[in-house]
Amino acid sequence: MALLDPMRRPSAGRVLAVSSVLPALAVAGWLLAGLPLLLLGAFRPLPAFALGLAAIALLAWAALRRTPGKPDMPETLDATAGQVAAVFAVAAGSGLFNALLHSEQLIVRRDPATYAQYAIWIAEHGGLPIPRQEDAFGGPDPALVFGSVGFFERPEGVVPQFMPGPPLLFAAGQWLGGLLVSPAVLGALAVLVVAGVVARLAGARWAVPAAAAFAVSLPVLYTSRTTFSEIPSLILLLGGLALLHDARDRTRVALAGLVFGLAVLVRVDGLRDVLPVLAYAGLLLALGRVRRSGPGTGIALLGGLTLGAGLGFLAAYLLAGPYLSYLSRSVVPLLWICAAVLALTVLGTALAPRLARLRPPKRLPELAAAGVVLLMAGFAVRPWVQQVHREPVTPEDVLTADFIEQIQRANGLPVDGRRLYFEDSLYWVVWYVGVPVVVLATVAAAVLVRRLLRDGASFEWLLPLAVVGWTTVTTLLRPEITPDHPWASRRLVPVVVPGLIALAVWGLAWARDKARRMGYGTRHQKALAALGVTLILVPGAVTSIGTAFTPVGRGEPAAVRAMCARIPANASVLIVERVTGDRLTQVVRGMCGVPAAKVRRREGADVPPREEVTRLIGRVRSAGRVPVLLAAEAWQLSPYGTPQQVMALATRQDGRYLTKPPSGTWRLGVTVWMCRPQP
């Protein structure tokens, strides 16, 4: 690798170029090594680190090695040492800040603790599914429920929700003693990746303000402090853009495609995000046919993309089948869209020579640019012409509607659980990055579209603009998430926030250059740039202040450890209350290390029939184990023995706001009582 050449001191631009693609290569290498081990039930520290480090080194060598007669890194990163140092300072500051204020969510209420418990299980046991351990309860029994929130019960065992990519990454943090700090490390790496992409597309001088604007945005702070999938997805998607920008041969193009495809292993939505890459590969194939230069880079990109996405599909089929079934209403249409894009790509490639002879309308560039502006204007007026509703048709829909109604009451809003608030999606973006970023990004997108269609100028922006534009539009149309904030802000993290910031700083650079060409002096140009940077940085930072300094979930690990210490090692835990069962079944199983199950309740009841609990207590004893009961209140256990409180947690949780940005956190209390029934 050129960066390690002892005979040549790397330039500052080279350091930035390399450091901004290494995070994607590291994530990709770890996933490539970890997935087979997980499928084999052998995901253990020694083989994982041995294979993972080897895979990372191999990918880095393939991406960064010298190629005789060709530049080994992009020549456009004309960065100074000060600019690169500032980028590293922003990334390091972001990582340290979020590590100090990281959340400690382990009690399963929403996705973060589900990811954490998933990571803990595979780190400790090396494989899936999670066994039900029915023998510890006297054998199979219809009154036993082994699934819980985030964990599906299936005949083969308990299957965690979500794709395995993020838990594979977080498991490394568990082995190193820092599971809950690992998101902050990934967040710092994401800052580097964003800075590298901006340096490539807009110039290195704009990398620092872009990195800072990204780092202080509330959705980024939020997802860099707890175990979510969005930051790893961002690293792969934007890292793929950087790798493809730098690619000088087919091997590196294929590697970029592989990194893009692995986004599917991290999030199901990654399939949507990489669709423009499929179309771009088709464009490269079509250009090869027109120029009669052979398939070349198009085939390489398509091959890498297919391999990476194929691994994601394989993992989804083998490890996340129930999750895909749960998301079928979103996944099935997405698969049809993928099929349509693939068909159009194949057709366009086949007809490329004929299409090349067509002459588009002369006004097409201007019309397309105007279309960009009108599209964003449409999103701006959407709340005045539409309210997005969904009629509950499934049990999950009913739960979501009930949850939205609870938040509406807390927010003092009209109660209507059918409302999804998706019509406000552009204003979510405005909350978190500010009006100036949205306006500058819109202008930049319009200018770039016009250039690309007019004479092919700014071609390096074609794929980034397609990825950012496609994902932004589809996300704003249908965020497909419970609309409380900061929760819903996650949807903006992988592409929308960094993409609009990248476009905005390019737009600022374009405005400064236009001022120069109009005859304004250096002083005025600098003033314009300073004002623009301020407008890009300040609005997002102001929104973040309300929650940036308040961690959530603090005390949960200590509370869980204290509870586990009270549970005998030879216990079989029966959870006899609804909320406690939803929150703690996997926690007890995965962190306390004892078998756990809920006792089936009648519909609408919070506790099961007393006779069923008593019968199961006898079955546990017949298996030679100690029955232990858990519930939220003492009175729920008093019929079976003397209750003892084993958890009394008072902490903070994320606020829940539907029509304004988050301004603070809310109180959260968790109580757990235990009893050991006497014979």
**Per residue in 579-613, pLDDT tens?**
999 999 999 999 999 999 999 999 889 999 999 99
The percent of residues in the chain predicted with pLDDT above 90, rounded, is 80
> What percent of the chain lies above the pLDDT cut of 70?
96
pLDDT band at 333 (very low <50, low <70, confident <90, very high): confident
pLDDT tens per residue, range 381-419: 999 999 999 998 888 889 899 999 999 999 999 999 999
How many CB atoms are located within 10 Å of the residue 629 CB? 25
Structural domain includes residue 621: yes
Distance CA 108, CA 115 (A): 9
* Confidence check: pLDDT of 293 > 60: no
Give the pLDDT band (50/70/90) at residue 47: very high
Q: Do residue 216 and residue 106 come from a single domain? A: yes
Among 548, 489, 547, CA closest to 663: 547
- 527 and 578 co-located in one domain: no
Tokens of 584: 């703690």
Residues 513 and 564 in one domain: no
Are residue 82 and residue 178 in the same domain, yes or no? yes
Q: Which of 551, 572, 590 is a domain's end point?
A: 551
Instruction: Based on the fold, state whether residues 509 and 575 are members of the same structural domain.
Output: no
**Domain check: are 481 and 578 in the same one?**
no
What are φ and ψ of residue 516, in 5° steps? -65, -45
Rg of the chain (C-alpha set): 26
Q: What is the pLDDT of residues 179-216, one digit of tens each?
A: 999 999 999 999 999 999 999 999 999 999 999 999 99
Instruction: Measure the CA–CA gap between 665 and 138, rounded to whole angstroms.
Output: 44
Split at pLDDT 50, 70, 90, the class of 466 is very high
**Residue 69: what pLDDT?**
56
In this structure, the strands spanning 144-145 and 596-599 are antiparallel
Assigned domain for 370 exists? yes
Q: What is the C-alpha to C-alpha distance for residues 336 and 260, in angstroms, rounded to an integer?
A: 20
Higher pLDDT, 346 or 363: 363
Q: Which domain holds residue 463?
A: 359-551
Tell me which of 456 and 576 has the higher pLDDT: 576
- The count of structural domains within the chain is 3
Q: How far is CA 36 from each of CA 15, 303, 349, 422, rounded to the nearest angstrom? A: 32, 20, 35, 39
Which residues lie below 8 Å from residue 262, measured CB to CB, with a gap of 6+?
27, 28, 31, 32, 165, 236, 308, 309, 311, 312
Which of 248, 277, 292 lies at the terminal end of a domain, its last residue?
248
The sign of the CA dihedral 119, 124, 128, 132 is negative
Q: What was the pLDDT predicted at 73?
A: 52
Quote the pTM value.
0.95
Domain assignment present for residue 294? The answer is: no
Residues 179 and 198 in one domain: yes
Residues paired with 148 in a beta bridge: 151
Q: How far apart are CA 248 and CA 60, in angstroms?
A: 15
> In the predicted model, what is the mean pLDDT of residues 367-372?
96
pLDDT tens, position by position, 410-422: 999 999 999 999 9
How high is the pLDDT of residue 1?
42
Nearest to 499 by CA among 264, 202, 130: 202
Whether 298 is covered by a domain: the verdict is: no
555: which 2 tokens? Answer: 């005390």
Expressed in angstroms, the distance from the first to the final Cα of the chain is 69
Instruction: Give burial (CB, 10 Å; 0-12/13-18/19+) of 380.
Output: middle
Is 380 a residue whose pLDDT tops 70?
yes
Examine the domain organization and report whether 547 and 620 are in the same domain: no
Question: What would the mean pLDDT of 169-177 be, rounded to a whole number?
Answer: 97
Q: Could you tell me if 449 and 597 lie in one domain?
A: no
Is pLDDT at 67 greater than 80 in this prediction? Answer: no
Q: Which of 208, 232, 248 is the last residue of a domain?
A: 248
Chain-wide mean pLDDT for the chain?
A: 93
Among the residues of 549-671, which ranges form H helices? 556-566, 578-587, 610-622
**If we measure between CA atoms, which residue out of 447, 413, 441, 419 comes closest to residue 429?**
441
Report pLDDT for 68. Answer: 60
pLDDT digits (tens, 9 = 90+) for 70-101: 555 555 578 899 999 999 999 999 999 999 99
**Tens digit of pLDDT for each residue in 243-288?**
999 988 889 999 999 999 999 999 999 999 999 999 999 888 888 7
pLDDT at 331 over 90: no
Quick check: 2 pLDDT over 50? no
Task: Give which of 651, 646, 679, 678 is closest to 666, Cα–Cα.
Answer: 651
Q: What is the pLDDT of residue 396?
A: 83
Residue 44 lies in a domain: yes
Say yes or no to pLDDT of 356 above 80. Answer: no
Give yes or no for residue 176 having a pLDDT over 70: yes
Angle at CA 464, nearest 5°, toward 81 and 94?
A: 45
Q: In sequence order, what DSSP letters do the residues of 113-169 get, joined into one string?
A: HHHHHHHHHHHHH-SSSB---GGGGTS--TTEE--BTTEEEETTEEEESS-SHHHHH
- pLDDT of 484 strictly over 90: yes
Q: Which has the minimum average pLDDT: 295-304, 444-453, 629-638?
A: 295-304
Structural domain includes residue 284:
no
**pLDDT of amino acid 97:** 98
393 and 501 share a domain?
yes
Contact 661, 431 (CB under 8 A): yes
What are φ and ψ of residue 653, in 5° steps? -125, 165
Answer for the pair 674, 644: CB distance below 8 angstroms, yes or no: yes
Average pLDDT over residues 53-70: 85
β-strand partners of 648: 671
Q: Is a pLDDT exceeding 90 seen at residue 635?
A: yes
User: Is the residue at 255 inside a domain?
Assistant: no
Answer yes or no: do 142 and 184 share one domain. Answer: no
Residue 423 has pLDDT above 60, yes or no: yes
Give long-range contacts, CB 8 A cutoff, 24+ apart: 471-478: 471/272, 471/273, 471/495, 471/496, 471/499, 472/496, 472/499, 472/500, 473/375, 474/272, 475/425, 476/379, 476/425, 476/426, 476/429, 477/422, 477/425, 478/422
Mean pLDDT of 534-538: 96
Greatest Cα pair distance, the chain, in angstroms, is: 92
Based on the fold, state whether residues 467 and 594 are members of the same structural domain: no
Residue 46 lies in a domain: yes
